[in-house]
Structure 1
Amino acid sequence: MFEGGADPMAADDYMDQIETHLTSMDVTDDHLKIILATYKFSKGAKLWWKSVTNQHKVEEMSWDMFKELFYEKYFSVTKRWELWEQFNGLIQGNMSVTEYENKFISFFRFTPKSVRNEVDKTRKFVSGLDYKMRPLIMAQYFKVYLEAVERVLMLEAEAKDRNAGKE
């Protein structure tokens, strides 16, 4: 269900879930996609959709147009830009590697498609690592994101083992 509201991440999650379902059900007709997506609207989202149906010929609407209207309402360009800026400034800081990687992945979906290749993704992840780990990973020059993450997790575990041995 999607109620609407002020949380743009919930809107993006909803759209991602709907598109996954539509793909798995092999739904290709735009009008049917819209019907299935809006079927799960409730509360504010349902009221918004009623106003859209009064202003647009829904039966002629494309899926892309539906998504554009949906994102315009529930996930503004300004909010997407803010998340992109947060992603650009993301650093590990006091987070564990797992926490950092989870945050990295949650923000990565808001990057422009032009920087969504494996090498750029890996470089961005490595550049935000803790200053102690970053040179160790950069020296190995990983091109595959998951390989870099795995190596950093191994380094973190090793560092914890060393620190435990000192105590």
Structure 2
Amino acid sequence: MFEGGADPMVADDYLDQVESHLTSMDVMDDHLKIILATYKFSKDAKLWWKLVTNQHKVEDMSCDMFRELFYEKYFLITKRWELRKQFDDLIQGNMLVTKYENNFTFLSRFVPEILRNEVDKTRKFVFGLHYQMRSLITSQYFKVYTEAVERALMLEAEANDRNA
């Protein structure tokens, strides 16, 4: 169920879940996708959707248009910009690699263009690592994100073993 509300992460999670279900059910038709996505709307979301259907010809609406309208209402652009800035500013600092990678993964979904290019994604991750670890990883020039993450975890484990 999606009731609406002020928490943009709840809205984004709802849309992600719906898209995942529709993909697994192999639903291809945009109109059917929108019907299924709005079927579980209640309270504020149901009222909002009634207003949308009065203003737009829903039968011809694309999923991209639906997402745009949905985000306009429940995931304001200022919040998306804020999350993007957090991603742009993300560095490991004193975080464990696992925590840094979790934050990186969470925030990267708000910067879809970085996800489309494996090399750019890997480079952004590596250059956010602590400088000592970064220098060891950049010397090997990883192009695959998971390989860079794995190497960073290995280096962190080695450092912990040395310190123990």
- TM surpasses 0.5: yes
Partners of 1:100 and 1:4 lie apart in 2 by 30
Partner secondary structure for residue 133 of structure 1: helix
Is 2:71 the counterpart of 1:58? no
Q: Which stretch shifts more, 119-128 or 51-60?
A: 51-60
Calculate percent identity across the aligned residue pairs. Answer: 78
Residue 116 and residue 30 in structure 1: after superposition, are their counterparts in 2 closer, same or farther (change >3 A)?
A: closer
Distance 2:162 2:84 in 1: 36
Q: CA deviation at 1:112?
A: 4.3
* Partner residue in 1 for 2:48: 48
1:96 is the counterpart of 2:96: yes
Match of 1:162 in 2: 162
**Which amino acid counterpart does residue 80 of structure 1 have in structure 2?**
R
- Deviation of the 1:52 alpha carbon: 1.5
C-alpha distance in 2 between matches for 1:131 and 1:81: 27
Q: Which moved more, 1:54-63 or 1:68-77?
A: 54-63
2:25 maps to 25
Residue by residue, what CA displacement relative to the aligned partner does 1:49-94 show, whole Å, maximum 9, x if unpaired?
A: 1221222232332222211111111112222221111101000112
How high is the TM-score relative to the length of structure 1? 0.90
Which residue is 1:36 aligned to?
A: 36
Unaligned runs of 5+ in 1: none
In the alignment, the residues of structure 2 paired with residue 135 and residue 60 of structure 1 have an alpha-carbon distance, to the nearest angstrom, of 52
State TM-score, norm by structure 2.
Answer: 0.92
Deviates more, 1:88-97 or 1:6-15: 6-15
Which secondary structure state, in structure 1, belongs to the residue aligned with residue 110 of structure 2? coil
> 1:98 is matched by which residue type in structure 2?
T
Render the CA deviation track for 1:87-137: whole Å, top value 9, x for unaligned. 010001121100000000011111142673111111100111112211111
| Structure 2: gaps of 5 or more residues | none
Could you tell me whether the CA contact under 8 Å between 2:108 and 2:115 is conserved in 1?
no
Compare 56-65 and 2-11 and name the one that shifted more: 56-65
Aligned residues: 164
Cα distance in 2 between the residues matched to 1:22 and 1:57: 22
Cα distance in 1 for residues equivalent to 2:115 and 2:24? 27
Aligned residue identity for 2:26? D
What is the 5 A alignment of 1:1-167? 1-113=1-113, 116-164=116-164
SS in 2 for 1:132: helix
Q: How far does the alpha carbon of each residue in 1:10-34 deviate from its partner, in whole angstroms, 9 at most, with x for none?
A: 2222111111111111112222111
Counterpart code for 2:119: V
